[in-house]
Structures are given as C-alpha cells and as structure tokens.
A and B are shown apart, each in its own frame.
Chain A
Amino acid sequence: MSRLDRTRTSPHQLRPFFSSQNLLNRADGSAQFDFGGSSVICSVVGPAEVKIRDEKLDRATIEIVARPLVGLPGVKDKTLERNIRETLEPLILSGLHPRTGIQIVVQTMKEDGCILSTAFNAAILALLDAGIPLKSILASVTCIIDSRTNQILLDPTIEETTHAKSTHVFVFDNKVSISSINPEDVAMDEDSKEPSHTGILFSDSTGLFTEDEFFECANACFKAAQAVHGFIRTAVSKKLEKEYQQTRA
C-alpha cells in the first residue's frame, strides 16, 4: 500500500528533518525545525526580567506564546501553548533562575501536518540554543490511523490527515523513566512485548480507536522518536563543534 505522500514508500517512514539553530539575532536562543513541508520557528528570551504579577519566588516563570501562520491567535493556539508549557516547564531546571522569566515564542512558518510535534522539537532545540539548563531532552512524533486501510502512518501530511480516523501525538524524553524499572512492570512488559522503557511524557489522541491501536501507535512513535532524538543530538554537537572552531580561529 503506497502512501498519499508519494515521496515516501513505507508507512513508518518520517519526512526528512531539517533544523537550524541560532538564526535570530534579537532572541537569546532560536531554532527552526522542519518535518518535510511543515516548519516551525521558535525563539527563547531569558532568563530575564519578569512582570511582578507573574514573578515566582522559587523558580523562573515560563511563558509560551504560540502564533498561527494565518489569522489571529485562537483557541487552537491557546491549547498549543498549554500543551507545550505543561511539557516543557518540568523539563526546565527553573529553580536555578528564581524570579526571572523565560519567554518562548512559537511561530508556524509552513503548515503540512504535525504542527504540534514540529513545535515541540523546535522548542527544545531553541532552549538548547539559549543555554537554558534542562533535565532531559524530548522528541515528538505524530501518527494517524488511516480510515481506509487501518494502517498506522507516521508523520502524516495534511492530505493524509484528511483520511485519518484518529490522530495521535506523542512526546518522549531521552531518559529511562524510573517508574518503569520496577519489577512488576518489567514482568508485564515481557508478556506484551513492549519496550520496558517506553515512557510517555505527553500524549494527545483524538478520533475513534481501540486500546490496542493506541498502544501500537505509542510503540511505533517511540521507535521513530529515537531517530528524532539522534537528530537533535547531532544537530547540537555539530553546532557546538562549529562554535568551538570559531572561538579558536
């Protein structure tokens, strides 16, 4: 079964990634992340001055501003802001910068499906670029279940999404979660043949699907997220190498 997106041959294939860090001058950190035809740019300012109303005594205040490509910011963008904030806030070691503000602006540049996942990946790259201390690094992948073939398609385009019976967004971090190491879970996992370290940091699914389909999607996305993790790692190390060479020159 071929995909609607004819550039790809397998249902589990992701579109080519692209990223670029430190591309804005006025922000403390910035990054662009692309999944094929979808592109999100993200800027980070901080730790900086914060409005007294938002000041927190023991940690930094994290503010997310999401801006759509077309039209005025609406409910969708508010949800995007909430999802990104709730996921990033715990990753940022905000206790190191009490009474400051960290502002993250997320701007969609090109829209071709999976905007939430693209935004997550762009945001983490921008935070890394800004040098904000983090607990772990996340990677996000979206998948759909095609209504005609019941197949899981990873990283769908808008065109493919129109035939989806359900959409699933997952975020995974790059550390083995403590909760899944306890012996009970490992025993469980041997039966169900799931990677025991699969820990979900964020998940958002809508549509109509069965329990088994949900966990199949989670596993498929987890495997794909490893590739994104690898990509983020390479992107950061390449950037650091370049900076190191520049300082020596």
Chain B
Amino acid sequence: MASSTTASLAASPAFTFSASTFQKLHPTEYFRKFVSQGVRPDGRLLNSFRPTTVHQGVITTANGSAMVRIGGTTVVCGVKAEVAEPKLDAPDQGYLVPNVDLSPICSSAFRPGPPSEQAQVVSDQINRVLKESNVLDLKDLCIEEGKAVWSLWVDVVCVSYDGNIYDASLTAVMAALANVRIRKPTYEEGVVKVSGVDNTDEDDNSSFKLKLARTPLSASFVLFDTSLTLLADPNFAEEAISEGQISITIDEQGKLCAVSKVGAATTSLTSMRQCVDRARERSQELRAIMNQHQ
C-alpha cells in the first residue's frame, strides 16, 4: 500500500527531484542504491581508496614536513625541533608530541575554539601508535643527559576535510618524520649551541636524520547499512552515515601496530580479517607512493 503511494507520487512531476536533493533527504537510501550495484556515488568500488599523493619538504622553515592528499582530504604536517629540558624521571629521553588541528578552515563541521573531541582523539591515536610501536627511540633525541634534549613538535594541520583524517594524518606524520633533518648540537657548560645556518643539503655532515624503527601506515573502513558492507577510505558523507569504523595500522614487515573498531555495529571476525588483508595491500601501495616522492 505504502509503496504504491510512493510510486504514484514519484510519477507526478511535482514529486520528482534531482539526485542531489534525494541524497540530502535520504542519504542512507541514496547510498544503498549505489552500494547494491557494487559502486559508490563518487565512482569508486567498495574497497578502493581515493587517489593519494605525498609530498615531502613542503615547509622550508620546519625541520621536516609533508603534505598528504587523500581525495578531498588534505593535511600538512610540520615537525619543529626545539631544545628542552628533560623530565626528571627520564633524563635521557626527548619528547615527541603529535598534535592534530581540525580548524574551521577545513570544514564547516568544526568550530573555532579549543580542540574538538575528534582532533584530540586523532592526536591520541597517533601518539599511541608512535609510542607503543616504538617508532622512534626517544633516547636518540638526547643532547646531554639530564640537561638538554630535543623536543619534536609534530603538528598536523588539516587544510581540507573530506573524511578519513586518521589515515591522512598518520601518513603525513610518518612522511614528515622521515623528512626531518636536525643540525648536530654541541653542549658546553650548560649552553646548547647549534652552529651554522639551516640548510637541507643531503650530504651535509652537520645534520642528522631520525632513525625510524618502522613506518606504520593505516587503512580505514566504515561499515555501511544493516548488511555491514565494508567501504574503504570513507569520505565525509560516508562517515556521517556509517554504522562503525575500523582502522588497521600496519608496518612494512606486515606487523600490526594498531587495530581499532568503534561504532554501533557488531563486527564478525571474518570482516576484521578482510580489513586486515585489504589494509596490507593498501599500506604497500601507500609506501610505494611515499618512496616515489622521496
């Protein structure tokens, strides 16, 4: 009965509307029509990622930097090294402080003011991956034990937000850390001296690179609809209607660094396995893209 009414309404010219209006009114139904055919509204297959580019060294004033684009999402990461005093309980360890900024510039979904919950959560996720997977030995950042260490401020600014901020930010952070050059300091009687002028000459002996033990990269998925179809690399619209998100972070040896699943839907272990497999392929692709630009 209801369906016949809809049909007759749709038939009358007053009740036909454009695809974009339909998307606004019934976003889930709109997506369902595409997904049932195995494609997504932006033309991607269900398990394909958006075109990704990585550029390193985009900020000349920073010690290391990178810009990452995944489809419509653009993030810039800058690493700044500062001399700081170490903590009393860890006198030989430096600091590595990632921070993700989601300002109103990247999307109207964010308000000015203190960092949003999402920004804090992404910062925390990246921080935990860097720490728990021992990406960088903080002892490498020591200048003089108990006196001076390097503090690396890893700031990620999102320029344009179209979903999947975690993948984009982590890629940018890893690319920027790989790009870092810090000039060798000298420590004399309580004064840290950093000689010479900043230059980024490859063969320059006066600067050092960071020894990264591994490069974790991630792949994110959302679960769509009651069928819990997996959609890789969700954009903003897809995130908004998702039933749950899964992120898998993998290093170059195929070891998992982080797995997270949040949201409404219960995920079977089978679909978790699918995600891990797909993430493995994706991280290889992403690594290839990163190395190509280096």
Q: Touch between A and B in complex, CB under 8 Å?
A: yes
The answer to whether A5 has its CB under 8 Å from any CB of chain B is no
A78-B124, A206-B128, A209-B256 given; A200·B263 CB < 8 A = no
| Residues of B contacting A78 in the complex (Cβ-Cβ under 8 angstroms) | 117, 120-121, 124
**Chain A residues within CB distance 8 Å of chain B:** 75-76, 78-79, 81-83, 86-87, 89-90, 166-168, 173, 175, 177-180, 184-185, 188-189, 194, 198-211, 214-215, 218
Q: Nearest-CB distance from B16 to chain A (Å)? A: 27
B contact residues around A83 at 8 Å (CB): 262
Q: Which of A167, A199, A211 contacts B267 (CB 8 A)?
A: A199
In the assembled complex, the CB of A173 is this many whole angstroms from the nearest CB of chain B, namely 6
Closest 9 CB pairs of A and B: A90-B264, A199-B266, A177-B266, A180-B268, A203-B261, A206-B132, A205-B259, A78-B120, A86-B262
> Across the interface, do B117 and A201 meet the contact criterion of CB distance under 8 Å?
no
Rounded to whole Å, the gap between the CB of B229 and the closest CB of chain A is 10
Q: Are B120 and A200 in contact (CB under 8 A)?
A: no
Complex: how many Å from CA A198 to CA B228?
15
B67 an interface residue at 8 Å Cβ cutoff?
no
Question: If A79-B121, A179-B267 touch, does A207 touch B262 (CB 8 Å cutoff)?
Answer: no
A-B contact pairs, 10 of them (CB 8 A): A79-B124, A82-B118, A89-B264, A167-B132, A185-B270, A205-B260, A208-B133, A209-B255, A211-B273, A214-B259
Having A76-B124, A86-B263, A206-B132, one finds 10 other A-B pairs with CB under 8 Å, namely: A79-B120, A179-B227, A180-B270, A198-B268, A200-B267, A202-B262, A204-B260, A214-B276, A215-B269, A218-B272
Check if B257 is an interface residue, CB within 8 A of chain A: yes
Given A76-B124, A82-B121, A208-B256, residue A198 in contact with residue B269 (CB < 8 A): yes
Q: How far is the CA of A189 from the CA of B272 in the complex (A)?
A: 13
**Chain B residues positioned under 8 Å from A218 (CB to CB):** 269, 272
Residues 241-272 of B contacting A (Cβ, < 8 Å): 251, 254-272
Minimal beta-carbon separation of B264 from chain A (angstroms)? 3
User: How distant is the Cα of A184 from the Cα of B263 in the complex, in angstroms?
Assistant: 24
With known contacts A166-B132, A210-B255, A202–B261 Cβ distance under 8 A: yes
Chain B residue nearest to A204 (CB atoms) is B260
- Interfacial chain B residues near A209, Cβ < 8 Å: 255-256
Which residues of B sit under 8 angstroms from A201, Cβ to Cβ?
A: 261, 266-267
